[in-house]
Structure 1
Amino acid sequence: MLTTRLAQVSKTILPILLGTAIYAFGLLYFIIPNKLMEGGVTGITILLKYAFSISPSLSTLILNIPLFLLGWKVLGSRQIVFTGIGIGSLTFFLWLFEQMIKKGWIVPFATEHDYILASLYAGVTLGAGLGLVFRFGGTTGGSDIIARICNRKYGWSMGQVILALDVLIIGISLLYIKKEQILYTLVAVFIASKVIDFIQEGAYSAKAFTIISDHAPEIADLITKDMDRGVTLIPAVGAYSKQAKHMAYCVVARQEIRRLTLIAKSVDPRAFIIINDVHDVHGEGFRED
């Protein structure tokens, strides 16, 4: 039983570790050598590198510790544990690649002319890393924690909070880097978003789950408790069995797809799950008009 549990945990943690390694490599190999930018708290660490030559691994750890502790207090340990793994592994891999660059084992890709190539590869690398992290239920901390807290406390849309932070940080970066670099950064951000969507197996920011099960109420209760997401129970009747049952309907963010699936299967391994693309979501936890 313990061996099975460890195997299940490792299948989640190892992809998160790989994702943060790819993300850290992209930052140090493509972004920083070419004076490009990134949004959120990672963008702050890059600004500190440009302005004061502070190590990104050090600033990532220092900036995320208070956010992690605040998130632990507000959101609870169950929601924040994989974020802690993401923060810790990102800090480690940033430090590891910094040491490898200092020793000359890795030579960053720096260019003075072909910035479009640098931004394209940066976008692919960062998107691949974050896509893996999100797909397996993790985050790299930073603005994601802030967005979750704002959503819980004030009902603000997570997407809008993250976007506002990204715009703010990239705007401040104009004081330290050329505006041309900002434009190339936008190319990298666009490519990264598309790669994240590709890895997440969906082109949209949310997914709708329809779960048909004899244990739908129990699944709905667990989703509400563990994920803080609203669930609607819809009465239904089996066409073959003629037995009354319920369907659970829930809309979640793209990084929560795997988590919700695992919750449903943990209650009822025979649950019938339908996942649909959602083009636009209005309401609590998403877009608020």
Structure 2
Amino acid sequence: MKFNIRNAILILLGNFLLALAVGFFILPYNILSGGVAGIAVALRVFVDIPTDVMVNGLVIGLFFIGWILLGKDFAVKTVVSSFIYPIFLTFITNYLTPPLSLDPLLSSFYGGIIAGIGIGMVIRTGSSTGGMDIPPLVVHKYTNMSIATLILITDGLTVMLGFFAYDLESVLIGIISVFTTSYAIGKVLSIGGQDSKSVQIISVEHDKISNMIHEKLSRGTTITTARGGYTNDEKQMILVVVSNNQYPQLIDLINDADPKAFVITTDATDVHGEGFSIGYRV
């Protein structure tokens, strides 16, 4: 029950923030963002239909296309957003006035950030905001192309559509909105995880380094056997995950034990489980 209530709140709040971004920042300043709002802005020059009406029509129309082509499960996850979002957008565009006049660059930036936060909140529940998420999902179903790639292509085509209606400057401003939206979505989806470093260490002093990690950093390690592709020699490799603030300490420990150790480091944005998030001593 708590899970369902939390998800309902996130879906409602996420759709409200998305509608706020579109109603306050995207539509009033004709920002060529991705999604249905960007299409509405681009088509405004050619079609004499209010942009908010066009957005609402596209959202509802795409929902039914998704229902037909993607099935009942998709429809159940998307139905709330597809009908609540148009209600929020209609209310905001008709009864609320943008608080101040903004430069298009600022409008594109903040509109993208707020929209990304709203979309990210909805996605965290396992639901979809509908709209222009649907064409990439349909194409993915029949081609198995990457959804992320298809979304980027869709947003890019949406922004480029505005080139024929406006000019290059408008397109460049629109790209700011696309990238800030994507950035904000990623940040929202990473909330709850711990920004960390995943480190692989190959060293002749693997036992010494592993023991130092246990004793001085209070981190667990995994040791596996690795074989050099050129020398065909077998060596031991240590895998350890540390928090960002422990990473400099880890490098110092490695250099003290074996200055010639081979180290590979990658960012890890979501780490859970015993040995990392349980019983960790700072």
When residues 171 and 15 of structure 1 are mapped into structure 2, their CA distance, relative to the original with a 3 A threshold, is same
What residue identity is the alignment partner of 2:6? Answer: K
Structure 1 equivalent of residue 138 of structure 2: 149
CA distance in 2, matches of 1:89, 1:119: 24
Percent identical pairs in the alignment equals: 28
Q: Provide the C-alpha distance between the structure 2 equivalents of 1:108 and 1:45, rounded to a whole number of angstroms.
A: 22
Equivalent of 1:79, from 60, 74, 78? 74
Q: In the aligned structure 2, how far is the partner of 1:167 from the partner of 1:22? A: 23
Does 1:110 find its partner at 2:101?
yes
What does residue 128 of structure 2 align with? 139
Deviation sequence 1:170-228 (CA, Å, 0-9, x none): 111112223222212222222222111111117xxxxxxxxxxxxxxxxxxxxxxxxxx
Output one character per residue of 1:118-153: Cα deviation in whole Å (capped at 9) or x when no partner. Answer: 222222211111111111222221221111221122
Given candidates 126, 148, 159, the residue that maps to 1:159 is 148
Quote the residue 1:232 is aligned against: none
**Amino acid of the residue matched to residue 59 of structure 1?**
M
Q: 1:107 to 1:74 in 2, by over 3 A?
A: closer
* CA distance, structure 2, for counterparts of residue 33 and residue 50 of structure 1: 14
Q: Distance in 1 between matches of 2:132 and 2:142?
A: 15
The one-letter code sitting in structure 1 at the alignment partner of 2:169 is E
Is there any run of 5+ residues in structure 2 with no aligned partner, and where?
A: 192-267, 271-282
Q: 2:182 aligns with which of 164, 179, 193?
A: 193
**Structure 1 residues 35-93: Cα deviation after superposition (integer angstroms, max 9, x where no partner):** 21111333222223454452344223322334322322332222321212111111111
The reply to whether residue 90 of structure 1 matches residue 85 of structure 2 is yes
Q: Does the CA contact (< 8 Å) of 1:86 and 1:140 recur in 2?
A: yes
**Kindly tell me: are residues 167 and 78 of structure 1, through their superposed partners in 2, closer, same or farther at Cα, counting changes over 3 Å?**
same
Higher-Rg structure is: 2
Alpha-carbon distance in 2 for matches of 1:180, 1:195: 23
> 1:35 corresponds to which residue?
30
Report the Cα distance in structure 2 between the residues aligned to 1:13 and 1:56, rounded to whole angstroms. Answer: 28
Q: Partner amino acid for 1:15?
A: L
Match of 1:181 among 123, 145, 170: 170
Give me the whole-angstrom Cα distance separating, in 1, the residues matched to 2:5 and 2:14.
14
Task: State the superposition RMSD in angstroms.
Answer: 2.3
Partner-residue secondary structure (3-state), 2:27: helix
Distance 2:36 2:118 in 1: 16
2:21 paired residue number: 26
Provide the C-alpha distance between the structure 2 equivalents of 1:118 and 1:41, rounded to a whole number of angstroms: 17
State TM-score, norm by structure 1: 0.60
The whole-number CA distance in structure 1 between the counterparts of 2:57 and 2:105 is 32
CA distance in 2, matches of 1:57, 1:116: 21
Q: CA, structure 1 residues 125+71, in 2 after alignment: closer, same or farther (shift >3 Å)?
A: same
Amino acid at match of 1:153: Y
Q: Return the letter of the residue paired with 2:81.
A: G
Deviation at 1:159, TM superposition (A): 1.7
Give runs of aligned pairs for residues 45-64 of structure 1, distance below 5 A: 45-64=40-59
In structure 1, the residue matched to 2:205 is none
Note if contact 1:30-1:119 (Cα within 8 Å) is conserved in structure 2.
yes
Q: Distance in 1 between matches of 2:93 and 2:16?
A: 12
Are 1:15 and 2:10 counterparts?
A: yes
The count of residues paired between Structure 1 and Structure 2 equals 194
CA contact (8 A) 2:136 2:154 kept: no
Q: CA deviation at 1:117?
A: 2.4
Aligned CA distance change for structure 1 residues 117 and 62 (closer, same or farther; 3 Å)? closer
SS, match of residue 19 in structure 1: helix
Once residues 182 and 163 of structure 1 are traced to their aligned partners in structure 2, the CA distance between those partners, rounded to angstroms, is 15
1:168-247 superposed matches below 5 A:
168-201=157-190
**Structure 1 residues 26 and 66: CA distance shift in structure 2, 3 A:** closer
